[in-house]
Amino acid sequence: MLDFQFNLLAVLLVLVTGVLAYILYFELELILGTFTFYTYSIWGIATFKEALLLILAGNVFPAYFYPQVLKQVASYLPFQYSFSAVGMLAQTPSWQLFLQIVVIQIGYIILLILLFKVLFKWSSTKTVIQGG
């Protein structure tokens, strides 16, 4: 019975961080969407973002294979907290890791929503729409 409760708790921890990771990824997409005010095609920017996500989130290779400099840079960016942090927690569930991930995810969520609001306000005041 104790083993079942531990697994249920681990699933709950992963679900919470998964929901926060999705919100974080959604905010990254919102910020990317503000660039549509300045370009006809966002394909190149979106492709670049996907490449960054694959590399810096540890989706191409696990992050522990990266050189120390790249690990250090990736640890300060929100990409790994929208993908690989959930996997790390699923592999080794612990309260300490859970709290660390959740605090960082919530911090990035707040920071990115503020950044989006500033970018959107600035972009929408500079937009000129022509047509009939």
Q: Does residue 117 form part of some domain?
A: yes
Q: Does residue 57 form part of some domain?
A: yes
Q: Does residue 132 form part of some domain?
A: no
Overall domain count for the chain: 1
What pLDDT, in 10s, does the model give residues 29-84? 899 888 888 777 788 888 988 888 887 777 777 777 788 888 888 778 888 888 78
Q: Does residue 118 form part of some domain?
A: yes
Domain that holds residue 117: 2-126
Pick from 4, 23, 6, 8: which is nearest to 78 by CA? 23
| Residue 56, CA atoms < 13 Å, CB-side half-sphere | 19
Residue 73, C-beta contacts closer than 8 angstroms, at least 6 positions apart: 56
The structure's pTM equals: 0.81
pLDDT at position 99, please?
Answer: 93
The whole-angstrom separation of Cα 55 and Cα 73 is 11
Q: Does residue 131 form part of some domain?
A: no
Q: Does residue 110 form part of some domain?
A: yes
